[in-house]
Structure 1
């Protein structure tokens, strides 16, 4: 007869044991909250870290005693995820309820005052809404440009023609570059003295052309640079759907003499619709975080300040750490709402199809 190792019974909630993860979570939360409210920032940081380590250790001991070896195998990945993502996220959320500046040591609890000032203060609220409006403008323009250009490129490269693979590599190159490299390249490209655009216009009209001299030109320059860099990403997703369309469907449509427009809507579009929606979601989320190209090309001038750049200026340049954290979570809330709205519309369309 073979003996089966039985797992020990789970400890009671009130039992003090190294594998009692429920009690560890409660103690960790209580001690962390008290330490954050009472202790100085440096001491509270290490206390919260110690409580997190205690909770993690209780989970590991519990998994080992009950033979949850699968959980033990993924525990290193979970630990890295917690340290690199979850803990900074929770810490910054807690910091948004305090008055704290990175160049000062004092910190005090203020509750929702940071959020209230951002939304209702006569000096801060208009600037916040103006930057949010600029961000929405960039989201609409850049995402629309990327979707249109990416779709047209995908239709082009779905066909076989000479030098196709070499041209495809060339088109994909912008997506492989760093944003800093793209920003520096376009800053030279738009330069009024020796930039290509200015030189061409000067050759025809005899005057120097300054693209970034007004808001319209500055917005157009940023949108063009962003679309140049990320349209290949949309192209890749759409191209994956185009090459997956069975050839016999097109052959049957040709026999039935179906028009090209109807062939696209009845055969091609159903295969790429999901990938187009995925590209729309990804690029919309990324467009909300646009700050790097704005910093490199305009530094927020000509009324091109975005909400992400505004967060950077508040948190880093003005050292208003808590206010920057609060604004970051307001932005996160907007992105979550838009994402859920997008998923709701996508699900409704898929159910109705």
Structure 2
């Protein structure tokens, strides 16, 4: 139900109703989304069923589901998905543990709490390219401070195929744990103090208080953080591309880049992009179901 315009307002004198004003703001936004989001999405879907190369003048030839069949039968693509899955588990799992732990530490009265919180948010405000180059220097076997601090000599973090993925995941954890921390801190600060007071009166232990009060009440915001970070980790390109060129760190986003812009296989790359999209949507829906369950408790 819309309220009536003030007869003395400029909009009323021009004859604009509330509905017209609303449409004046909404219609350009919808048009923008259609032109820059929905149209390219549908356009690329059409190319995923063709054998098309953007580098040539040959017209697109319809091949049906052949691109999808070729990708599903490609062992290298499955290896990319496997590497990406390991990276997502390492990165998101580490961000949840570090972010939630730091939020628990900050959820108390400490001097300069605002300053500490602001400084902890700095990593996620930096460009991924800058973060990747910065950590590449830290991991350097020649002058990197990490090897010096751990006494590892000239250990090559980013050149070792068994360690490179973990090194990149640590960088991503350092960069995005503050995001999880921020959401968890908002959830922790919203918990009513009287719940902890009642638990203290009943002589409840710390573990009981954490599992029955803190974690259930923070779970919705924590799941929202996991949803966003899982989606972003699955699409990670910058850090892995800059920091390492090992086959063991070729995430699915890097495979997609090489397929589209180095090999110029536009049709198969569009098909692979839709496979990634479907997988991300499926994982997100699982998280959303758990989020709805957490809200209903």
In the alignment, structure 2 segments of 5+ residues that lack a partner are 1-17
Which of 325, 334, 337 aligns to 2:270? It is: 325
| Among candidates 138, 149, 156, match of residue 200 of structure 1 | 149
Q: CA deviation at 1:72?
A: 4.9
| Residues 1:311 and 2:256 aligned together | yes
Q: Compute the displacement of 1:348 (Å).
A: 4.7
Q: Work out whether 1:102 is the aligned partner of 2:47.
A: no
- Aligned partner of 1:234 in structure 2 is 180
Say how many residue pairs are matched. 278
Equivalence for 1:270: 216
2:236 aligned counterpart, secondary structure: coil
**Cα shift readout 1:294-332 (whole Å, capped 9, x = no counterpart):** 101102x15111111100000011111111111000111
Runs (4 or more) in structure 1 with deviation over 2 Å come to 67-73, 198-201, 341-351
RMSD after superposition: 1.8
Q: Separation in 2 of the partners of 1:328 and 1:210?
A: 33
SS at 2:134's partner residue? helix
Is the contact made by 2:191 and 2:217 (CA closer than 8 Å) also made in structure 1? yes
CA distance in structure 2 between the aligned counterparts of 1:306 and 1:82, rounded to whole angstroms: 30
Distance 1:245 1:173 in 2: 26
**Greater RCO (CA < 8 Å, at least 6 residues apart):** 2
Q: Is 1:213 aligned to 2:159, yes or no?
A: yes
Unaligned runs of 5+ in 1: 1-66
Q: Mark the CA change 1:231 to 1:335 in structure 2 (over 3 Å): closer, same or farther.
A: same
Stretch moving more, 142-151 or 262-271: 262-271
Q: How does 1:1-353 map to 2 (within 5 A)?
A: 69=20, 70-107=22-59, 108-120=61-73, 125-201=74-150, 204=151, 207-299=153-245, 301-348=246-293, 353=297
CA distance in 2, matches of 1:242, 1:180: 32
2:143 is paired with a residue of what secondary structure? coil
**Does the Cα contact within 8 Å between 2:219 and 2:294 map onto a contact in 1?**
no
TM-score, with length taken from structure 1:
0.75
